[in-house]
Amino acid sequence: MKRLLTAVLIAASALAAQAAATLQPAKSDLSFTFKQMGVPVDGKFTKFDAQLDFDAKKPEAGKIAFTVDLGSVSLGDASFDSEVAKAPWFDTKRNGKATFVSTGIKPTGAGKYDVAGKLTIKGASRDVVVPITLNAGVAAGSVAIKRLDFKIGDGEWADTSMVANDVTVKFKLAFAGL
């Protein structure tokens, strides 16, 4: 009986170590920076969700899925926010969500990982590698993307002399149970 109880406890602790973590939105941030006419502009998203299934002993088996509500974009001015919701930019009526789904996690050092995956915005998908640092239940990092790869800023806004093509996306995601 004692052996059975020990085996059940070991199995339960192994399952708990591999359980999915829960995002804590109030403790998390998702922001971005780009340049308009050479001047840095900061923005953020206020609604997003992430699913994380991760075991530090087996990081390669981990999975991350991330969804952003593009309609929750904020540039700090209501008129700018309504402009970026329009078709040339995020086109939130037809493409309300951006997603990232991991395809692999590779450890790169103590608490550091490269997360490969597919980023999809406005129907355009690209393979990206996102370097993250995982510390005390918080995954943090940044990734550079090209806005035109995702059709962000179509038409007259495709000219990168006004709005630069380079965008840096920064995140701090706090998880319970990690």
As averages over each run of 10 residues, the pLDDT of the chain (178 residues) reads 38 46 95 96 97 93 96 95 95 95 97 97 97 95 97 93 97 93
Query: 3-state SS string over the chain?
Result: CHHHHHHHHHHHHHHHHCCEEEECHHHCEEEEEEEECCEEEEEEECCEEEEEECCCCCHHHCEEEEEEEHHHEECCCHHHHHHHCCCCCCCCCCCCEEEEEEEEEEEEECCEEEEEEEEEECCEEEEEEEEEEEECCEEEEEEEEEHHHHCCCCHHHHCCCCEEEEEEEEEEEEEECC
C-alpha span between 124 and 98 (Å, rounded): 10
Domain residue limits, the chain: 20-176
Residue with tokens 């953020």: 44
Report the CATH fold assignment for 20-176: Lipocalin (2.40.128)
Q: Please report the pLDDT score of residue 4 as a whole number.
A: 36
Q: Enter the pTM of the model.
A: 0.86
